[in-house]
């Protein structure tokens, strides 16, 4: 493999080489003893894989340990809308009257926001006690006491000369232009795949903001259900989330009333008087309905609340304006939480897993195989399952089957949810790493070849057994739900969408194959490797003649490269009228 771009990469401006990982003066880990920040600083993890540390060095944390620590961290954190011009030093001094600050960062989202983590929870009550409800003039304010504040300058005129000295952390994925630039100057396809992962994975700050948002929603839900927990699940926590992905939340009411069971002694058993409804589903609908109302009327920053109660899995969808997250709140969805834990384990077992999944997710988004709107297309969850399955099929396997993970489980791992056996080993450190040493380049090519030739009409994808099985029904794409094994997670996918996936997979395998024999030289200015896969397809069935297609495509490539060359400055929002690599899935 010819090494590319060495030297050229060194000449690129630093901002173009790596995005903001190193330049975050506004995010300080000051480390109060015994806090997550202290742990994080000791381990110096990367974000995204932050929770587990690197593959084979330190002991990897269990999913629930990470969730517990992050939740506790979020409970000591506040969100503050700040004036655009603010002195960071004065701001911190002002807040530290309420107690020592463990960590803080700023970000922009239609205004400047600060996320401030105190060392102690008590600091938050102190801050709330010194906070007033705004007087609204003609409008009336609902006096809701939350952890989302608005900071105002007492004498704005005195302070306008003050320069804003805060640097904000980026919550967005890179622009397509910047991504192509980074990929162009990478040294190898493996380097490209890892670069894409680093650019798209959730940052430490974005992860904090996700847990904080759940914690703020939990405060609102707690008005009705004081012991409830709002847990993030899905790609926000399974380590496969891209910057800009939605925030899936699970309103967990199971802790309610549990305390009482320990205290029951003697001859009596005390139970709460409750209202009964005909089914679990009706209970879920009623609970979500009232929480939806509450978010709509009293939830600071919660807008566009939609109650989608008749869906298979009832949910409340809303935008959390200050964080910019599109949120889906469900309840009674414990299996999805377990799926998140399973994916977290697979993502942590081998560094190639996440790298490959991110590339496949970006590839699918770039070719409109996935969409943020529900429909007959494949979902990111299904794509992840396909990558896991493919990695189970390698020789030797890169990932173990779910059945093997179940065999390794001990008594404490046992988990049955609604009659479904969801047991698997949860201690990552007890799973033997794979002896497979295949490169990411090879795996990427083989992935496309494998699924470009998969007998979808006959076979089902099954990560539990790690082998193909006869399809139990006629849906075009059948991916067995790992826990509810009679269900197909890709039931929604139409024949034409599957066909499109297969054609693009074949075309991508062909591009990588051709490059193996005849890789464009570094002086040819051609996008290559992963970058070539993310460009518009040259094999679209409805487009004109082959010559014309090739001409159109090469023109697009030429334009793109020219724009890269002519403008190497950072511009995260610029899409330059060209195709956009997924910013929102």
Alpha carbons 377 and 334: distance in angstroms, whole number:
25
168/331 with CB nearer ligand GTP: 331
**340 interacts with, out of ligand GTP, Mg ion, none, CB within 5 to 8 A per kind:** ligand GTP
From 198-206, 228-236, 267-275, 423-431, give the range in contact with ligand GTP by CB under 6 A: 228-236
Query: Using the rule CB under 6 A, which residue among 380, 480, 497, 537 binds ligand GTP?
Result: 380
Judged by CB under 6 A, the chain residues 335 through 354 that form the site for ligand GTP are 335-336, 339-340
Residue with Cβ nearer Mg ion (49 or 235): 235
Q: Give the one residue of 45, 99, 173, 234 binding ligand GTP; rule: CB under 6 A.
A: 234
User: Which of the stretches 8-16, 77-85, 235-243, 460-468 binds ligand GTP when contact is defined by CB under 6 A?
Assistant: 235-243
Residue 248 is a binding residue for Mg ion (CB under 5 A) = yes
Please name the residue that has the structure tokens 């948002």. 213
Evaluate whether 543 touches 507 at the Cβ level (below 8 Å): no
Return the one option of ligand GTP, Mg ion, none that residue 498 interacts with (CB less than 5 to 8 A, by type): none
Stretch that binds ligand GTP, among 27-35, 49-57, 239-247, 410-418 (CB under 6 A): 239-247
What percentage of the chain's residues is helix, strand, coil (to nearest 5)? Answer: 40, 10, 45
Q: Please report how close the Cβ of residue 235 comes to Mg ion at its closest, in angstroms.
A: 5
Interaction residues for Mg ion, span 479-508 (CB under 5 A): none
Residue 116 vs 337, nearer CB to Mg ion: 337
Among candidate residues 381, 291, 298, the one with its CA nearest the CA of residue 335: 381
CB of 492 to Mg ion, least distance (A): 15
CA distances from 540 to 6, 163, 367, 536, 549 (A): 35, 52, 10, 9, 9
Q: Which stretch binds Mg ion (CB under 5 A): 26-34, 164-172, 245-253, 475-483?
A: 245-253
Q: Is 320 one of the binding residues for Mg ion (CB under 5 A)? A: no
Would you count residue 67 as binding Mg ion (CB under 5 A)?
no
Minimum CB distance to ligand GTP, residue 102 (Å): 29
Q: Whose Cβ is closer to Mg ion: residue 204's or residue 248's? A: 248
| 246 touches ligand GTP (CB under 6 A) | yes
Task: Using the rule CB under 6 A, give the single segment among 54-62, 121-129, 218-226, 244-252 that binds ligand GTP.
Answer: 244-252
Residues 96-135 that bind ligand GTP (CB under 6 A): none
**CB-based burial of residue 568 (10 Å sphere; 0-12 exposed, 13-18 middle, 19+ buried)?**
middle
Candidates 117, 199, 248, 507; binder of ligand GTP (CB under 6 A) is 248
Sorted by sequence, the CB contacts under 8 Å of residue 151 that are 6+ apart come out as 80, 81, 82, 83, 86, 91, 114
- Identify each DSSP E strand in 58-138 by its residue range: 77-82, 101-108, 112-118
Residue with tokens 């939740």: 71
Instruction: Rounding to the nearest 10 degrees, give the CA dihedral for residues 461, 464, 470, 474.
Output: -60
234 binds Mg ion (CB under 5 A): yes
Work out whether 489 is an interface residue with ligand GTP (CB under 6 A): yes
CA 327 to mean position of chain CA atoms: 12
Would you count residue 325 as binding Mg ion (CB under 5 A)?
no
- Residue 339 binds: one of ligand GTP, Mg ion, none (C-beta under 5 to 8 A by kind): ligand GTP
Question: Cβ neighbours of residue 576 under 8 Å, at least 6 residues apart?
Answer: 175, 176, 177, 563
C-alpha 56/C-alpha 60 separation (Å) is 9
User: Cα–Cα distance between 367 and 585 in angstroms, integer?
Assistant: 13
- The number of angstroms, rounded, from the C-alpha of 127 to the middle of its chain's C-alpha atoms is 31
Q: Which of 39, 43, 246, 438 binds Mg ion (CB under 5 A)?
A: 246
Is 235 a binding residue for ligand GTP by CB under 6 A? The answer is yes
User: Is the CB of 300 or the CB of 482 nearer to Mg ion?
Assistant: 482
Helix boundaries (H) for 408-494: 440-452
Indicate whether 67 belongs to the interface with ligand GTP (CB under 6 A): no
Which residue's Cβ lies closest to ligand GTP? 234
How much is the CA Rg of the chain, to the nearest whole Å?
25
- 241 binding ligand GTP? (CB under 6 A): yes
Contact by Cβ (8 Å): 386, 459 = no
Give the Cα separation of 285 and 282 in Å (integer). 5
> In the complex, which residue's CB is closest to Mg ion?
234
> Binding segment for ligand GTP among 94-102, 193-201, 227-235, 393-401 (CB under 6 A)?
227-235
Residue 82's contacts (CB-CB under 8 Å, 6 or more residues apart) are: 91, 106, 111, 112, 113, 114, 151, 166
The contact set with ligand GTP (CB under 6 A) reads: 233-235, 238, 241, 245-246, 248, 335-336, 339-340, 379-381, 481, 489, 585
The contact set with Mg ion (CB under 5 A) reads: 234-235, 246, 248
């Amino acid at each position: 493999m010819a090494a590319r771009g060495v030297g050229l990469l060194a000449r690129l401006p630093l901002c173009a080489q790596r995005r903001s990982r190193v330049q975050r003066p506004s995010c300080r880990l000051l480390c109060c003893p015994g806090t997550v920040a202290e742990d994080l600083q000791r381990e110096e993890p990367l974000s995204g894989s932050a929770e587990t540390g690197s593959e084979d060095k330190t002991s990897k944390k269990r999913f629930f340990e990470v969730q517990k620590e992050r939740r506790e961290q979020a409970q000591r954190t506040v969100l503050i809308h700040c004036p655009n011009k603010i002195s960071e030093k004065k701001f911190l001094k002002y807040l530290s009257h309420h107690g020592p600050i463990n960590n803080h960062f700023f970000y922009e989202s239609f205004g400047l926001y600060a996320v401030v983590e105190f060392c102690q929870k008590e600091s938050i009550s102190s801050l709330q006690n010194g906070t007033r409800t705004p007087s609204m003039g003609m409008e009336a304010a609902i006096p809701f006491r939350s952890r989302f504040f608005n900071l105002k300058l007492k004498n704005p005129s005195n302070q306008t000369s003050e320069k804003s000295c805060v640097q904000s952390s980026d919550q967005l994925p890179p622009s397509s232009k910047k991504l192509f630039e980074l990929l162009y100057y990478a040294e190898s396809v493996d380097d490209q795949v890892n670069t894409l992962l680093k650019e798209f994975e959730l940052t430490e700050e974005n992860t904090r903001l996700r847990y904080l948002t759940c914690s703020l929603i939990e405060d609102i839900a707690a008005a009705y259900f004081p012991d409830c927990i709002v847990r993030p699940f899905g790609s926000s926590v399974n380590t496969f989330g891209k910057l800009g992905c939605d925030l899936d939340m699970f309103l967990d009411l199971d802790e309610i009333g549990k305390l009482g069971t320990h205290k029951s002694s003697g001859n009596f058993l005390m139970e709460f008087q409750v209202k009964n409804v005909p089914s679990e589903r009706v209970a879920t609908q009623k609970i979500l309905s009232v929480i939806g109302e509450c978010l709509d009327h009293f939830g600071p920053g919660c807008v566009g609340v939609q109650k989608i109660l008749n869906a298979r899995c009832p949910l409340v969808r809303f935008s959390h304006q200050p964080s910019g997250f599109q949120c889906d709140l469900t309840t009674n969805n414990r299996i999805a939480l377990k799926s998140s834990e399973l994916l977290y384990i697979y993502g942590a077992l081998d560094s190639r897993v996440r790298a490959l999944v991110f590339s496949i997710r970006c590839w699918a988004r770039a070719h409109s195989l996935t969409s943020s709107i529900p429909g007959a297309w494949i979902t990111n969850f299904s794509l992840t399952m396909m990558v896991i399955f493919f990695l189970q099929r390698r020789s030797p396997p890169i990932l173990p089957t779910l059945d093997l993970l179940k065999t390794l489980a001990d008594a404490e791992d046992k988990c049955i949810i609604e009659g479904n056996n969801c047991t698997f080993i949860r201690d990552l450190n007890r799973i033997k790493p794979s002896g497979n040493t295949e490169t990411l380049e090879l795996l990427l090519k083989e992935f496309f070849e494998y699924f470009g030739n998969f007998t979808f009409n006959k076979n089902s994808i099954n990560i539990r057994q790690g082998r193909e099985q006869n399809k139990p029904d006629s849906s075009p794409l059948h991916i067995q739900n790992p826990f509810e094994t009679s269900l197909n997670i890709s039931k929604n996918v139409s024949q034409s969408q599957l066909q499109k996936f297969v054609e693009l997979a074949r075309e991508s395998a062909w591009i990588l194959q051709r490059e193996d024999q005849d890789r464009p030289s570094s002086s040819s200015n051609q996008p290559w490797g992963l970058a070539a896969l993310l460009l518009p397809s040259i094999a679209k069935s409805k487009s004109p003649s082959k010559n014309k297609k090739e001409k159109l495509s090469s023109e697009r490539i030429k334009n793109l490269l020219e724009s890269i060359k002519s403008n190497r400055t950072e511009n995260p929002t610029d899409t330059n009228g060209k195709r956009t690599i997924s910013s929102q899935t």
